[in-house]
Structure 1
């Protein structure tokens, strides 16, 4: 991915290597890519030839099915009450990357909070692993991650590097991967789970991604 695009259009709390690994596992190389899933089944839609055609497909299915869009396969409809509010930035490369990586960083903070102590190096690969699965399914430990609130911030290690062949993730204590609240227990069960069409599971995650394993990596089923 273009270095300037990564610099200008992604969440600054995530290293470029992490973002590239995320796109490889859960995203698409095509900024007009649209995935539509209903009742756990993929709906075949024509490949749009223009941003206008892409947005027409999005608006036709949002609220009726799970719709993922663009490079990050961002969940269309998050945070909007009416289809008319959906921004065509969904299919604009830079905007999709900016919104998608910001959402990923939030999901990683939610997961790190659940783990209790995100400063431990050996937790970082699992946090990333779980974040990818949560992105694909829309949930982590019963929480609708796309609509959930961002945890209160404290310092945490930055995700320094994700080796392309899936070998390891290296942390750097002087950086941060956003701000994460370290609590020892899981999120309160009284916290309501927020669901909408965008947080429905497009399909069930299969092979888990083990970033600490030497050799090949698992692949996701959701693309």
Structure 2
């Protein structure tokens, strides 16, 4: 179990502690060095990392070929990176991983809640949370890639519960597993179809 004091200290303050705890229990890992690699729906077996260097090496080796999730929150490692060499040790630092992971999950959660009409009924909230967890694990909600659009794709769903035209037609710039380890930052940046999304978390401000 992840230390409660660590979660309280490092988690995004816009999320209630109970949501943070359940998010990590349901979608995260107790091991800050945990690296999970998937090829499509298949789990790829990789050696267990015993230190920061090994965890980052595993991540770099698999980016560009597979989907890689890292750390306590199982953060999507390829998100917003131009090249594998740009990975930072913060990704497997317990506090930093909780901070960025809960901030991004908060954005996904609020997007899902908005699709539901921002319900307050206690009977509906568990379903909202379940769908947010699935969106976090798969990267999709209602057919929209929640990590790959400039704002969380779920937040582009309109109030009637259907996908708006801009969201439905949006073309993601890069998936979380499309980082090319062999390409230089300059080469990637010059191609707008390969440019990594820079996640703007400034819009996170409301409580669910």
Equivalent residue, structure 2, for 1:194: 172
Measure how far apart 1:189 and its partner are: 3.3
Consecutive unaligned residues in structure 1, runs of 5 or more? 154-180, 201-223
Measure the CA separation in 1 of the matches of 2:152 and 2:41.
28
Measure the CA separation in 2 of the matches of 1:98 and 1:34.
17
SS of equivalent to 1:198: coil
1:58-73 residue pairs with structure 2 within 5 A? 58-73=59-74
Measure how far apart 1:150 and its partner are: 4.3
Measure how far apart 1:121 and its partner are: 3.6
1:97-112 residue pairs with structure 2 within 5 A? 97-112=98-113
CA shift in 2, pair 1:68/1:195, >3 Å:
farther
Q: Provide, for residues 150-173 of structure 1, a one-character-per-residue CA deviation record: whole Å limited to 9, x for no partner.
A: 48x9xxxxxxxxxxxxxxxxxxxx
- State TM-score, norm by structure 1: 0.70
Equivalent residue, structure 2, for 1:172: none
Q: Provide, for residues 169-205 of structure 1, a one-character-per-residue CA deviation record: whole Å limited to 9, x for no partner.
A: xxxxxxxxxxxx98234231332152644279xxxxx
Do 2:65 and 2:177's aligned partners in 1 also have CA atoms closer than 8 Å? no
Consecutive unaligned residues in structure 2, runs of 5 or more? 179-208
* Aligned residue pair count: 174
Equivalent residue, structure 2, for 1:184: 160
SS of equivalent to 1:127: helix
Q: Does 1:3 align with 2:4?
A: yes
Q: Does 1:24 align with 2:9?
A: no
Measure the CA separation in 2 of the matches of 1:24 and 1:120.
23
Return the structure number with greater helix share.
2
1:31-70 residue pairs with structure 2 within 5 A? 31-70=32-71
CA-based RMSD of the aligned residues comes to: 2.5
SS of equivalent to 1:122: coil
1:153-192 residue pairs with structure 2 within 5 A? 183-191=159-167, 192=170
